[in-house]
Amino acid sequence: MNRFHRGLALGLFALGAAALLPARAEPAAPAPTLYQQLGGAPAIAKVIDDFVGIVAADSRINFQFAKTDIPRLKQLLREQFGQALGGPERYSGRDMKSSHAGLGITNAQFNALAENLYEALNRNGVPYRVQNVILAKLAPLQPDVVER
């Protein structure tokens, strides 16, 4: 084989080998946040509206909200949920401990509130897996909310 043919053969071999290499993989898109999975701000607003309505009808806990500014409560809940679920919102309210100080909230009342949230999430078709993650993110608030 002369020099020309040897060079041509090596070049063709290199091209063939390169064709067999896997293509450079594009980086995988990041997994959607809980905020995105839920449907963003409009979906969170709907869940919060339903949640507050369910709480208002629940005699186990509705008395705790008798003097509450409901529009402000809804706004703060939208901020809190949005931030906790990876959205752009930032919670502008007081910390949970000072917000609930002196209310005498019990474990039973906290659990009733969690049940109401679960019902609101169900009403809005939030998948069970996502519901569990949301509730798990909110559970650490219990020690700051419950006083007795």
Annotation: binding site for heme: 100
DSSP 39-64: THHHHHHHHHHHHHHHHHT-TTTGGG
The structure tokens listed for 53 are 């309505």
Tokens of 8: 């041509």
Token pair belonging to 125: 């078709």
Rounded-to-integer distance, Cα 75 and Cα 77, Å: 5
Q: Which residues are annotated as a binding site?
A: 100
